[in-house]
Amino acid sequence: MDNIENLTSEILGQIEKALDLNTLEEIRVSALGKKGRLTEQMKTLGSMDPEERKTAGQALNVAKDKIAGAIDEKKIALEKAEMDKRLASETVDVSMPVRPKQQGRIHPVSQVMEEVLTIFAQMGFDLAEGPDIEDDWHCFEALNFPKNHPARQMQATFFMGEDNVLRTHTSPVQIRTMENKKPPIRIVAPGRTYRCDYDMTHTPMFHQIEGLVIDKSTNMGHLKGCLLEFMKKFFETDDVSLRFRPSFFPFTEPSAECDVGCSRENGEFKIESGKGWIELLGCGMVHPNVLKNCGLDPDEYQGFAFGCGLDRFAMLKYGIPDLRSFFDADMRWMKHYGFLPLDIPTVTSGLSFNAGVKK
């Protein structure tokens, strides 16, 4: 039985050296498979005499067990090595910081600006812009404020050297638009405006939006219809009533102030008709002198304009009591009144759908 022992130690040697599971499987097949070397030896037992068969049979069984045992052991060792290799190459760094919770918020003024522009865009208005630093012509002169006229004192102007001012209103964008474009004109112009003023409802920098419509027969009925449609969409209710009170602005004739119906019950402010009024904006028919100043013939063209404070709209819609807090950059205030960045207002999916249910 010398050759069985030799065969066994040869196969055990191969098993020992096997570097992967495939090689090990090949060794198993070549030793113990149907045509394996030990299996072939087993087949010779039949032709032996009984005594010889007994010894050879026992020796073969012992060899078979040894080899099978060695293969099993090696298999476990190779599987473990393979797993260790994978674990080493596929590490997850559990000490990495988690993705930080979203901290930033959209400011209520930005939110309201988006809402207002979304509505006017749907009504067919274009967007117009002008500079924050304006010259006297665009900010006052062309808007029919005569030099040294007391109307100039209505607006606490920041002067910037010789001829320039920080614009006190967005109305100069009316002039810039009419200077550069022939009617029909239908624009809204949002932006920053500046006046030397500071209390609960005034800050030196604030935001306005200007509207201008010029065509051949545009009239105050159109102005009223346009504002009513806008207010319904913006305040998200059909129960809106508007009141126009005669007023004075140098650049409109006639001029009006527009109030919206509201209620103030148990400290709660609500837009609804029939209870009370709150002032919202200034408006009127564009003054013939303004049209002339922009090179438009007042006998051919006419139109309306309006201008209002966006911050005021934000305060009314979202119940924010103090305008000064808008500019404090206080994250606690932003968390309370701000909006999540992915909640973009649209007329169809909702303008302020996230208000009150956020965070």
**Residue 161 to residue 146: CA distance in whole angstroms:** 20
Q: What share of the chain is helix, strand, coil (3-state, %, to 5)?
A: 45, 25, 35
Least gap, CB of 246 to ligand DAH (angstroms) = 12
Q: How far is CA 357 from the centre of its chain?
A: 17
Kindly report the length of the chain: 359
The DSSP call for residue 98 is: P
63 belongs to the binding site for ligand DAH (CB under 6 A): no
Closest residue to ligand DAH, judged by C-beta, is 307
Give the residue with the Cβ less far from ligand DAH, 248 or 333: 248
Q: What are phi and psi of 129, to 5 degrees?
A: -135, 155
Point out which span in 35-43, 59-67, 223-231, 279-287 binds ligand DAH (CB under 6 A): 279-287
3-state DSSP call for residue 194? strand
305 belongs to the binding site for ligand DAH (CB under 6 A): yes
Among 130, 303, 307, 338, binds ligand DAH (CB under 6 A): 307
157 belongs to the binding site for ligand DAH (CB under 6 A): no
338 belongs to the binding site for ligand DAH (CB under 6 A): no
Point out which span in 2-10, 64-72, 267-275, 276-284 binds ligand DAH (CB under 6 A): 276-284
Span 209-228, contacts to ligand DAH by CB under 6 A: 210
| DSSP assignment of 266-296 | TTEEEE-SSSEEEEEEEEEEEPHHHHHHTT-
283 belongs to the binding site for ligand DAH (CB under 6 A): yes
169 belongs to the binding site for ligand DAH (CB under 6 A): yes
| DSSP assignment of 161-178 | TTTEEE-SSSTHHHHHHH
Residue 14 CB neighbours (<10 A): 17
Point out which span in 28-36, 231-239, 300-308, 342-350 binds ligand DAH (CB under 6 A): 300-308
Which uninterrupted H or E stretch holds 145? none
306 belongs to the binding site for ligand DAH (CB under 6 A): yes
Point out which span in 34-42, 82-90, 302-310, 348-356 binds ligand DAH (CB under 6 A): 302-310
Least gap, CB of 155 to ligand DAH (angstroms) = 7
The answer to whether residues 67 and 32 touch, using CB atoms and an 8 Å cutoff, is yes
The answer to whether residues 212 and 172 touch, using CB atoms and an 8 Å cutoff, is no
250 belongs to the binding site for ligand DAH (CB under 6 A): no
Span 173-212, contacts to ligand DAH by CB under 6 A: 210
Point out which span in 92-100, 229-237, 282-290, 332-340 binds ligand DAH (CB under 6 A): 282-290
Give the residue with the Cβ less far from ligand DAH, 24 or 283: 283
252 belongs to the binding site for ligand DAH (CB under 6 A): yes
Q: How far is CA 239 from CA 231, 233, 235, 266, in A?
A: 10, 11, 9, 20
Give the residue with the Cβ less far from ligand DAH, 46 or 150: 150
What is the strand order of the sheet 158-160 is part of? 133-135, 164-166, 158-160
Look up residue 91 and give its amino acid.
T
Crossing angle between the packed helical segments 220-235 and 108-122, to the nearest 10 degrees: 130
| Cα angle for residues 74, 77, 80 (degrees, 5° grid) | 150
Point out which span in 26-34, 301-309, 321-329, 344-352 binds ligand DAH (CB under 6 A): 301-309
Residues in the site for ligand DAH, rule: CB under 6 A? Answer: 169, 171, 210, 249, 252, 282-284, 305-307
